[in-house]
Amino acid sequence: MAEKTQAKEIILSDGRKAVIKDGKGRDLFEAMRLASEPGEISKMLLVRLVEIDGKSITEDDIDELPLPDAVKLLDAMSDLLPFTRTRK
């Protein structure tokens, strides 16, 4: 039986709770379709998979996050998409 992964929770700088929901292949492929360049895939995937305080978010919501919060979300997303990580 396949192991079920848990959604990842992140507390943002203003105390709100962001949850990265379990995704499916269709979420990745839709993010790839919507992205106008490869660097936007993670952002589009965040729009599909993240809820903040139980509400879906938009691309504008991500754009307006404080930089440390946006980095936290992207870092968490890189755990799901290792091909988006930079080599150390």
Residue 40 within any structural domain of the chain: yes
Residues 70 and 66: their CA atoms lie apart, in Å, by 6
Residue 1 within any structural domain of the chain: no
Global confidence as pTM: 0.79
Q: Determine whether 58 is exposed, middle or buried from the number of CB atoms within 10 Å of its CB (0-12, 13-18, 19+).
A: exposed
| Domain total of the chain | 1
Q: Which domain holds residue 18?
A: 10-82
Share of the chain above pLDDT 70, in %: 83
Mean pLDDT score, 32-54:
92
Q: Which two tokens stand for residue 15?
A: 């105390």
Mean pLDDT score, 44-51:
94
Residue 32 within any structural domain of the chain: yes
Q: What pLDDT, on a 0 to 100 scale, did the predictor assign at position 66? A: 97
Residue 1 has pLDDT above 50, yes or no: no
The dihedral formed by the CA atoms of 38, 26, 19 and 1, expressed in degrees to the nearest 10:
-130
Residue 36 within any structural domain of the chain: yes
Element counts in the chain: helices (H) and strands (E): 4, 4
Residue 17 within any structural domain of the chain: yes
